[in-house]
Amino acid sequence: MALQGRSLISLEELAKEDILDLLAQASKFESEPNRKILDGKVVATLFFEPSTRTRLSFETAANRLGARVIGFSDAATTSSSKGESLKDTIMMVSNYADVIVMRHYLEGAARYASEVSPVPIINAGDGANQHPSQTLLDLYSMLKTQGRLDDLDITLVGDLKYGRTVHSMLTAMRHFSSRFRFIAPRELEMPQEYKEYCTEHGIVFTESHEFNDEIISTSDIIYMTRVQKERFTDLMVYEKVKNAFILRNQMLSNARENLKILHPLPRVNEIDQDVDSNPAAYYFKQAKNGLYVREAIICDSLNIKV
Ligand code: CP
């Protein structure tokens, strides 16, 4: 087992075998998603930032495995709006729940919570930092559609500065020998720290400010991302870059047969709806894979063998 009852904060803490083990567990859950193996357990979902997929798939995962779910999707309805600290909130919820799934707008909040919590914390996204459960479902989707995680041409497109999903992905992909292309407007380039991380860990990458036919026709995976409006301090900059790259169906005519288009979702404008019926469009199935991966994560964090 990968987590063995521990928190999941960053994929930096997982070895290659741990990641592959979680993906193998997810595959078992895909074959049999409904099992009452968490009977008597309580899963808390604390979402200090909005979410559709992550919260609902974690809650569905818990429900399908027989656990009960408590929590909130709007921190304004909780005592944190009265000034209660994150530490006190975590201490209180850990009195009631066996595991806490938390999304927070502050980078490092999940790690801090794990340091004060007596029960495991699952990071469901902390600011622009990490989104490990999303990455595990992204890897699961790549493995399922390409049959491997090595020797892939993976093109990351859009907001590479604030997009926590692409940062998490690089952390996990240090274990595999695929090639990356970073396609972003200048204002939203992959941060220097992550480029240095790639260099240190032997992750091959190139960078471009153009998203063109040549790039599309030589990709196995195109990973589109939303421009993260909520993280901009200057909305004039957001207005300038918000529609920098839009993938349209006509741009896919020379794509590889095995190409899959991924997106963590939600999308705004970056994938035109005319792409949805293209066989390469995989983003809705990708989100469905999140259920199986999150079933595996919850069980592992509770040290319950599948
Ligand atoms: N991919 C993702 O994190 O989606 P939500 O913000 O809807 O949870």
pLDDT tens digits for range 150-164: 999 999 999 999 999
Q: What size, in residues, is the chain?
A: 306
Q: Are residues 99 and 139 in the same domain?
A: no
What is the model's pTM? 0.96
Spatial CB neighbours of 9, under 8 Å, sequence gap ≥ 6: 110, 111, 114, 121, 123, 130, 132
Q: Which amino acid does the sequence have at 169? A: M
Examine the domain organization and report whether 278 and 295 are in the same domain.
no
- The confidence band for 297, taking pLDDT boundaries of 50, 70 and 90, is very high
pLDDT category of residue 258 using cuts at 50, 70 and 90: very high
Ligand 1 lined by 11 (C-beta under 6 Å): no
Tokens of 227: 């421009």
> Active site residue: 53, 64, 161, 167, which one?
53
Let me know: does 128 contact 229? Beta carbons within 8 Å.
Answer: no
Concerning whether 248 is annotated as a catalytic residue, the answer is: no
Q: Would you call 77 a catalytic residue per the annotation?
A: no
Q: What is the mean pLDDT of the chain?
A: 96
- Ligand 1 closest atom vs CA 49: 6
> Is 2 contained in some domain?
no
Q: Are residues 122 and 268 in the same domain?
A: no
Mean pLDDT of 198-210: 97
Nearest to 296 by CA among 133, 99, 73, 80: 133
Please work out whether the CB of residue 266 comes within 6 Å of at least one atom of ligand 1.
yes
Shared domain check, 170 and 275: yes
Q: What is the mean pLDDT of residues 169-175?
A: 97
Q: Are residues 167 and 236 in the same domain?
A: yes
Give pLDDT, residue 187: 94
Q: Please report whether residue 118 resides in a domain.
A: yes
CATH number, domain with residue 63: 3.40.50.1370
Are 160 and 58 within one domain?
no
Answer yes or no: do 146 and 216 share one domain. Answer: yes
pLDDT for 216 beyond 90: yes
Which band of pLDDT confidence, cut at 50, 70 and 90, is reported for residue 305? confident
| Residue with more model confidence, 28 or 305 | 28
Residue 306 lies in a domain: no
% of the chain exceeding 70 in pLDDT: 100
Which residue has the least CA distance to atom 3 on ligand 1?
54
Question: Span 233-251, mean pLDDT?
Answer: 94
As for how many domains the chain has, the answer is: 2
Q: What local confidence, expressed as pLDDT, does residue 12 receive? A: 95
N-term to C-term CA, the chain: 9
- Domain boundaries, position 218: 132-287
- Residue among 46, 47, 52 to mutate when testing ligand 1 (max atoms within 8 A of CB): 52
283 half-sphere exposure, CB direction, 13 A CA radius: 22
Q: Is 53 a catalytic residue?
A: yes
DSSP the chain: --STT--B--GGG--HHHHHHHHHHHHHHHH-----TTTT-EEEEEESS--SHHHHHHHHHHHHTT-EEEEES-GGGSGGGGT--HHHHHHHHHHH-SEEEEEESSTTHHHHHHHH-SS-EEEEEETTTB-HHHHHHHHHHHHHHHS-SSS-EEEEES-TTT-HHHHHHHHHHTTS--EEEEE--GGGPPPHHHHHHHHHTT-EEEEES---HHHHHT-SEEEE----GGG-S-HHHHHHHTTS--B-GGGGTT--TT-EEE--S--SSSB-GGGTTSTTB-HHHHHHHHHHHHHHHHHHHTT---
Catalytic residue (one of 41, 55, 104, 131): 131
- Does 148 map to a domain? yes
Percentage of residues in the chain having pLDDT higher than 90: 95
